[in-house]
Each structure stands twice: as C-alpha cells, then as structure tokens.
Structure 1
Amino acid sequence: MITIAAAAAFLATFNETFLNVAFAPIMADFGVDVNTVQWLTTGYLLVAAIFVPVANVLYRRFPTKALFISVTGIMVVGSIIGALAPDFATLLGGRLLQAIGTGLLTPIGMNITLAVSPRHKLGMNMGIMAAMTTLGPSLAIVLSGALLTIAPWKTLMWVFAALVLIVLIAGAFVLYTVVELGRPVLDIASFILVAVALIGILYGVSAAFGGNIVISGGAIIVGLLFLWAFIRRQNRIANPLLDLTPFQTAAFNRGVAMTMLGLLFVFAMNVTIPLFLQAARGTAPLSASLTLAPGILLTVVLGPIAGRWFDRFGGRFSIPLGFAVMAIFVGLVGLAAGQTSLVLFGALYVPAVLATAFVIGPSQTFALSHLDERSSPHGVTVISTSFQIAGGVGTSLAAGIYGMVSQMQLDAGQAEVDSLITGFRAAAILVIVTSVIGIIIAIRAYAARKPQAQPAETSAPQSAIAGIMKTDVYTLQSSDTVLEALYKFTSLGISGAPIVDQNSQLVGFISDGDIMRYLSAAHPSSVNFYSFAVHEKQELDDAMQELSTLNIMQLATKQVISLPDTASLADAIAALSDAHLKKVPVTNRDGSMVGIISRSAVNRLAIANYLETEHQAQLVV
C-alpha cells in the first residue's frame, strides 16, 4: 500500500512540471503567448491547492479503494482530453481536470502511509513519500525533454495517461480501507472561501513581477481577507472543511514552515536552472534538464536513508545541517554560473539538492508526529496544501526575480549574458535567504521541545513538582535488547520505561505499545502479541529470537519531552496535556534523570485538593 501511495504522490507532483519544457511547441501550435501558456502550470497549481482540503472529507467518507480509483480516473480523463485538444482552451480544461486529481491524490497517499506505517518505520516511509514528491517535479523536466526530442508534445499527455492507468489498476488490487469511515459534510461556503483565498494569494504572488503592482497587491489583499473569513468560519461551524486544531501545536507549525522552505528550494531551482542554461549558455533543453538528473536520482536513494536517520537520531542536527548545505552549495552554484563549465555547475548542484532529503521528509515527520490520531488527517491536509502553495510561490518568486533583475541589468546597458548571470545569482540569493530562515526555525523547533527551567527564586513551584514526582524510577540501558525490556515490563508490571546511557543521561523512551506495533508489522499473521503467544509457539519462538537481538533504541522514541527538576506544577501539566503524554521524565541540570511525573499523579493531586476543600467546607457548615 505504501508503494501505491508513493507512486501516486510521484505522479501527482510529476505532472506539475511535465509540460514546462513543451511550452514553446504549444505556443506555436495554438498561437498563444508566454503569458497565456504559463497558466498550464499556474492554473494547475491553483486548482490543486483548492482541492487539497476537500480530500480530507472524501478520505473519511468513502472507501479507500473506490476513492483512489475515482481520483486517478479523473487524472486519466484529463490527460486524454489534453492529448486530443483541438485548441488551447480545451488543453487548459484537461489540465485543470488533472489538477483536481493531484489536489486529492497527494493527501490521500500521505494518509494511507500514516495509517499503515509502524511507528518505528514512520520516518523512513515519510522519507520515501518526500523523495517521491521531490523526484516528481524534477524528473518530469528530464523525461519530458527526452520525449520531445523524438515525439510531438501531445505524446506527453498520452504517456502520463498510461502511467496513471497502471497505478489505478495496481491500486484496485492492493488497496483496502484504512480509516474508520463516517459521514463528514463538505461545507460549500468554506470551499468557496478557501478557493478565493488561495487564488488571490497565489495569483498576486505570480503577478507581482508582471509590472502591475496594484493588481498584484489587490489580489493578495483580497486573498488574505477571504482567508481570514475562512478561518473564522472553520472555528464556528460544526463540520469544518479543515479542522484547524493542528495549528494549536507550535511544533507542527514549525514543521510545516520547514517543509515549505525546503520545497521552495526545489521548485525555485527547477525553473531557474533550465531557463538560465538555455538562455545564457545556449544549452539544448534536454542537456539543461540532464544537469539536474544526478542530484535528482541520488535524492531518491537518500530519501529513505534520511528517514531512517530521523527514526534513530531525530532531526535536531540533520535538519539545520540540511538547510546549511543547501545555502552553501546554492551560493557556489551561483558563483559557478559565471564559468563556462557545465560539469562544474551540475556537480555543485548535487549536494544542494541531496540536502533536501534531510529537510523535507524529516520536517513532515516532525510536524505530523506531534499530532494525535484524530488531528493527523487534518495535518496531512495542511501539509499537502502547503506543498502546492510552496510550489506556486517558489516558482513565481524565483522566475520573477530572475526575469526582473536580468531586465534591469539589460536596461542599464549590461551585456545579455552578464545580465542573465546576475539574474540567476539573485534567484540563488533568494534560496540562500530562505535556507537561513529554515536553519533558525529548525533550531528553535528543537530548543522549544524541552520546557525551560524556572528561575531559582521560584521555590514554591519547585516544591510542587517534587511533591508528586516519583523518584524510584525503573530505567533501561541504551545497550539493552527489546527482549530484555519486555522482560522488565512483565516482571515489574509496568508498561514503559525511560532509557538512559552509561552516564545516566536520558536518551529515549520505549513502551509495550512500541514493541507490539513492531511485532504486528513484522508478524502480520498475528492480531497482537498475546494471540500467537497462546496459539502459535513456533511463531512466538521466532519473535522472541528476533527481539533478543534487536536493540531497544531502534524502536524507542528518541526525542523525549522532559522536565527540569526546577519546573513548576504548571509546567508539568502543560507538558502532559500539550503533548498528550502519560508520563514525563524529570532531569537535573546535568541532564541525568532524577524522577518521573505522571498524569495519574497530577490527577490524584487535583482530586485530593478538591476533596480536602470540600471537607473543610462541610466542617464550616
């Protein structure tokens, strides 16, 4: 199912740039100018963004297989209409039908991945999804350039229809319903509000460099006003189109921001590099596209590896490092733009695009991992919408800055090639600035995961947490196996334990639920661990043998939310409620664990205080 979801995500994003290289022959066939033909991309992104929120309603209302077949079927029909189009209007209509499928298909695929992924493999599987969504728009430019050298542009529409049909047939055999279905209602007024909001904002950004600042600014203002009305309506109606509760989680917001900044890099470079190489260096379309190919292909391989890295170590260092590599090597690519060597240009771009594997997928996982099961589908909708917005904004900003700066240099009397080099470097600076912003957000995201220590003078709150903190805590060593952890759980009657290293530093947390989810994935014939413990001794022996060699850190949660021993009772309540936790470890100034505070301890304190107050009141009466 994850393979089908990844293939669908690839095709949905692949089609966003598949026609870009064919703009010249399309203009010649239908007699349209560049401002008209660009709507094949701009209109596509707008419609896709509008339909993303609708996917969440459909996903929770209709069976997964039937929904998947219907959505991919829309994309096939749109492709056939485009291939047979006698004029530009018909081609645009078929293109917008494809966009409806894209807007629905991307979040559906991500929801399927979230639903079927074991927790210990979530980062890897989201890394695969991120690699596919990054690969799609990049590889489309390469493949379309190759096809156009041997066939007319309408061949692209037929090829895409065939690819989607293959995925449709595979989904019909593999998929099954993975969510509890209900009858959510599609709020038409909300759909209209969000449609106008996104169209206004994205059109305003794309038109900002067209010379008419008044129209651009007006469109953005109208879009923001309708967005404000949409948000107000979602908070007031019983069946909102988009549940905005994920935005109440600061970590989710930061994860979405990091994802969008990584995607902005991909779309910005995908549009400016081919434009620059063809215009300034006279490179053929296929050669310009092939310059992107090595980094693109390597990113596909690195995506799952980056996901496994995130599963094991988190993104505290890898995400900021990814943004830093993007900034450094895009800067070097900008410098190499003034050189004649195409090999040097392409080689310097490879590390920059590889770094996106450590940014986009891990940032998505970081954002969604902070949501509960009810909010996750809404979080997926937000991220999928942000993908289209980042694509539209990244393409418009990069192309707009490139064109505007180049024209300014030409008007100032600079040579054409030098003007184009300056324009490309300006677009590179845009990416450098957004990458630096990504570094700052990533550092703040992980710094905010631990509550800050209270000042020394707040002695009252310190005594409050000390009064309910359990100090005789059972811990596991980071070198223990999963079987040893399971033995400790059963012998001590506990359901989970913190993990410390040889220096007593807190490095993770593992629960029996983590182990059960792993066994369910590794041994799908069992409904749960205890069923085959009774009925299938051989399977039990195999599972125990596997757990005896598996280190607990491979299943544990690495980025553990903890409290300093100077925290107040209010800090403890906030940590338990905001992150939906049952227990929170407590550490001292050196990072060593000194205790644990649980939700039940807080509840007992609250009830005891209430009963004591009521008892005193009764005595007074």
Structure 2
Amino acid sequence: MEISYERKIDLKLILSIIATGLMSFTGVVVETAMNVTFPTLMEQFNVGTSTVQWVTTGYLLVLAIIIPASSFLKKRFMTKHLFLFANIMFIIGTVLAATAPSFSLLLIGRILQGIGTGIALPLMYNIVLEQTPLNKLGLMMGIATLIIAVAPAAGPSLGGFIVYSFNWRMIFIVLLPILVLSFFIGLFSIRQVRPTEKVTFDWFEYVFLAIGFTCFIFAVSFAGIMGWGSFQVIGLFVLSIISLVVFYRHSKKNDAPIINLHVLQYKSFSFSVVALMLIQFICLGLGFLIPNYAQIVSGKNALVAGCILLPGCILGAILTPISGRLLDKFGAKKPILIGITFITISTLFYSIFALNMTILLFVLFYILFGIGQSFSTGNVMTNGLKQLPEKMNLDGNAVFNTIQQLAGAIGTSVVSTIVSTAQVKLPDDLAAATMLGSRNAFILLLILAFIAFFCLLRVLCYISSKKI
C-alpha cells in the first residue's frame, strides 16, 4: 500500500494533535492530581508513604514498559486503531479507579490508564513528526508539549479542589467527558500517512527490558522500608542490571530491535536523552515533595497544597510554544540555556530554604522552575531528534518518551523513599521527619540539575563544532 502525503498544517493535523493530546493531558492531570490526595488515601486505605506512591509510580512504570513498543506499534498497526484502543483502555481504567473499593483495585485502574497513555503519548509526537513541515517543527512540538504542560497546572489544583470539596473519586469521574470527546475527535481526524509494515516483535527482548525496569523501581521503592543494604533490595538491583544487560546485548545483534539503540551512537542525542531524563526526574520529584510538605509540615489543606504549583505551571504552559518558536527562528542554544539555568536556580533555592519553607516561597521557586521547564523540555527533545537521520525519528521518539516516563517513576519513587526513610527514623514527629526528608530530596534534585546543565552544555558545544 503506497500512501502519498505532503507535509502541511491543516485542520486534520490540528484535530489529531488535540485528540491524542487530550488523552495525554488526562493522563498527566490524574497523575499530578493524585499526588495531592496521598495523605487522604493513606488514611482511607491504611497504607504508608512508600505504598501510596505506587499510585503514581506504578502508572509511570507501565508507561515506561509500554512506550518502548511504540515504534513497533506505529509501524505495525493503523494509527487510528492504536488511538481508539488506547482511549478505550484509559476509559475502562478510569471507571475502575473511580469505583475502586480497595487500594489494589485503584492500582489496577491506574495500570490500565498507564497502558492507554503509554500508547497515546508517543502517538501524538509521532503525528507531529510525520505530518508537520520541517520549518514549523519547533512550533508544533511546542504546541503538542503545551497540551501536556497545561496538565501539571490543572492536576494539583483540580485534585486539591476536588478532595477539599468532594472526594478523591471525583478526580476520575470528571475526566470521562474529556476522554469521550477525545475519542470522537480522533475517530474522525486521525489519518494514515505511512503504510503499515509486517515487522516482527521480539518478545524475548521486551520481557528482559520490562523485568529490568520493574526490578529497578521495586528496589528503589523497597529501600525506604527495608534499607538500601538489605538482601532484597540488592538482589532486585542485581536482577535489574542482569536483565538490562541481556536486553542490551540481544538488541545490538537484532536487525529489528524494540528500541533501536543505534540512536545513542549520536552523542548530541545521547546527552539530550540524559538531560531530559534528569529534568523529568526533578519535575516529578518536586510534584511529589511540594504538596506533601505543604500538607504534612505546613498543615495546609489539599486545596491550598494543590494550588501551589498552579502559577508556575500556567506561566510555563504559556511560554512553551513561544520557546519552540524561538528554537525555529534562532536555534537551540539560547532557549535551552535559559531553561536549564532557571531549573538549576529553582532547585538551589529549594535546597537552601528547605527547613524554612513558606507557601509564598514554594510558589515563587516553582515559577522559576516552570519557566525553566517551558524553555527546556520541548526544545531539548526537538533539538535531540534533529540530530538524528529522519528515518530514526520514530526510534528517537520512543527512546525520549520511554526515558521520560521511567525517570518520572524513578523520581517519584526515590524522593518518596528519602522522605519515608526520614519518617522511619523520627516516627514520633511526622512533620519534622517529612521536612528533613524533603530537604535531603531537594539537595539530590539540585545535584541532578547540575548534571543536566553539564549534559546540555556538551550538546550545544557539539552542535556548534559541527557548524564550524
């Protein structure tokens, strides 16, 4: 089947991005909204910090497992069919989570949502990469990222308002009309611009990748309960490393690997991947730390805790397409440097003031982070993909999206483990323990911001040297 398509921005492209973007939006909204509900869920289901964080970590882990298959799925199946399947899975998961009588069923609902988002998120970026004129790629990637960037602004404030005014189940119920709207927009707008291929799927490779990711996340999560030196935690880390090594060695010999690791041979792309991974780690880490600090340490209600992130997320969402346009006009250097500088300054302030935080300081520092994220995330991804041959864009997109979700899962799990460890050491003073644990986590995020800064300097220096 031959399909002829001229790259252009038309109504169907816009509606396709909106349809897939709405699904991705609901995924991020519920992910960040649930962070605000953790104290409530801990009380209702009688679970601790290290357990309740699996509402987010489990969801992100499923994304990290599903997204590596996105390149295969996009080549093998019709784009519209993938979208409709993802949407239906998300709706089923949402209904189950909304009605869950136990924590385990809530977690199953979140896993089904993760399957839906894991398909929809890379699908949105693949549609942009396939159909957008190359001279408008930064702008359209910025618009696609804007849809995702708005979600962290809506998530915590929506979650806080709903928990304060109703109950946490309403968070899922209000998403259903958005998902239905997304379903019908996608049904009539998503088109096929490339023929499908009868590519094979290497289950051996995929299973070892999934085992590696899963064991790593479980090891980090259990460390907060059993200790980093426990036999179980060390055993999980070892099993994770062995599984990932098997995956790596097998994929290098495979002519059609699940994730084409040949993209990592391009140094500027590889450093971009590491930087984006660290930025996502920081983002999800802050998303966990700030609402919980506000409620447990500062004694604020869920509504106030949820609204702390709102100004920074809104400003970041507004700036995201503008920063993409700057990349199209002036290149990657300035917007990316502005972004990572603001992120580093933000994490520095959180580290310095961690033991004396007020709501105002949380808001101000997160505004700095929101500016940094808007100038960095989409542009790092766009610039990184530009360093690859066009035929590798699907593979590069799969790597970026996989790493982002894995980093988010690790970020949430690691910072919750750090806080949980402090709470175990000071069981009689939950507020003081949470404050100390948060301080330690903020310091870790600062270190990661410096590493991301270094990686992006390497990327920009490499690009400059190629132009000379």
Please confirm whether the aligned pair reaches a TM-score higher than 0.5, indicating the same fold. Answer: yes
For residues 512-542 of structure 1, what are the alpha-carbon distances to aligned partners after superposition, in whole Å with 9 as ceiling and x for unaligned? xxxxxxxxxxxxxxxxxxxxxxxxxxxxxxx
1:417 to partner: Cα distance: 5.3
Q: 1:195 to 1:416 in 2, by over 3 A?
A: closer
In the alignment, structure 1 residue 260 sits paired with structure 2 residue 165: no
TM-score of the two chains, using structure 2 as the length reference? 0.89
> Which of 293, 300, 306 does residue 283 from structure 1 map onto?
300
> Partners of 2:150 and 2:415 in 1: how far apart?
19
Note the 1:60-139 alignment, pairs <5 A. Answer: 60-139=75-154
> Partners of 1:87 and 1:416 in 2: how far apart?
25
1:381 to partner: Cα distance: 0.7
Note the 1:425-440 alignment, pairs <5 A. Answer: 425-440=439-454
- Opposite residue 445 of structure 1, the aligned amino acid is V
Q: 1:422 to 1:40 in 2, by over 3 A?
A: closer
CA contact (8 A) 2:354 2:442 kept: no
CA contact (8 A) 2:128 2:140 kept: yes
> Partners of 1:212 and 1:441 in 2: how far apart?
31
Q: Which runs of 5+ in 1 are unaligned?
A: 452-560, 564-621
For residues 254-304 of structure 1, what are the alpha-carbon distances to aligned partners after superposition, in whole Å with 9 as ceiling and x for unaligned? 111111122122111111111111111111111011111000111110000
The equivalent residue for 1:363 is: 380
CA contact (8 A) 2:142 2:323 kept: yes
The equivalent residue for 2:202 is: 187
- Opposite residue 362 of structure 2, the aligned amino acid is F
1:37 to partner: Cα distance: 3.4
Number of equivalences:
451
In the alignment, structure 1 residue 382 sits paired with structure 2 residue 382: no
1:367 to partner: Cα distance: 1.0
The equivalent residue for 1:589 is: none
In the alignment, structure 1 residue 442 sits paired with structure 2 residue 438: no
- Opposite residue 364 of structure 1, the aligned amino acid is M
The equivalent residue for 1:423 is: 437
The equivalent residue for 1:162 is: 177
- Opposite residue 324 of structure 1, the aligned amino acid is T
1:40 to partner: Cα distance: 2.2
CA contact (8 A) 1:258 1:359 kept: no
Note the 1:508-519 alignment, pairs <5 A. Answer: none
User: Residue 375 of structure 1: SS of its match in structure 2?
Assistant: helix
1:114 to partner: Cα distance: 0.9
User: Residue 374 of structure 1: SS of its match in structure 2?
Assistant: helix
> Which of 290, 310, 317 does residue 327 from structure 2 map onto?
310
For residues 523-578 of structure 1, what are the alpha-carbon distances to aligned partners after superposition, in whole Å with 9 as ceiling and x for unaligned? xxxxxxxxxxxxxxxxxxxxxxxxxxxxxxxxxxxxxx335xxxxxxxxxxxxxxx
Q: 1:208 to 1:141 in 2, by over 3 A?
A: same
Q: Decide which structure has greater helix share.
A: 2
> Partners of 1:418 and 1:82 in 2: how far apart?
33
User: Residue 179 of structure 1: SS of its match in structure 2?
Assistant: coil
Note the 1:196-595 alignment, pairs <5 A. Answer: 196-213=211-228, 214=230, 215-339=232-356, 341-405=358-422, 410=426, 420-451=434-465, 561-563=466-468
Q: Which runs of 5+ in 2 are unaligned?
A: 1-15
Q: 1:2 to 1:210 in 2, by over 3 A?
A: same
> Partners of 2:65 and 2:116 in 1: how far apart?
11
User: Residue 250 of structure 2: SS of its match in structure 1?
Assistant: helix
Stretch moving more, 275-284 or 78-87: 78-87
- Opposite residue 91 of structure 1, the aligned amino acid is L
In the alignment, structure 1 residue 55 sits paired with structure 2 residue 70: yes
For residues 284-331 of structure 1, what are the alpha-carbon distances to aligned partners after superposition, in whole Å with 9 as ceiling and x for unaligned? 111011111000111110000111111122222332332222222332
User: Residue 292 of structure 2: SS of its match in structure 1?
Assistant: helix
Q: 1:146 to 1:425 in 2, by over 3 A?
A: same
User: Residue 186 of structure 1: SS of its match in structure 2?
Assistant: coil
CA contact (8 A) 2:22 2:179 kept: no
The equivalent residue for 1:43 is: 58
1:420 to partner: Cα distance: 4.1
1:174 to partner: Cα distance: 1.4
> Partners of 2:310 and 2:120 in 1: how far apart?
25
1:362 to partner: Cα distance: 0.8
> Partners of 1:423 and 1:67 in 2: how far apart?
42
1:56 to partner: Cα distance: 1.6
The higher-RCO structure (CA 8 Å, 6+ apart) is 2
User: Residue 427 of structure 1: SS of its match in structure 2?
Assistant: helix
> Bigger radius of gyration, 1 or 2?
1
CA RMSD of aligned residues (A): 2.3
> Partners of 2:151 and 2:203 in 1: how far apart?
31
1:118 to partner: Cα distance: 1.6
- Opposite residue 154 of structure 1, the aligned amino acid is R
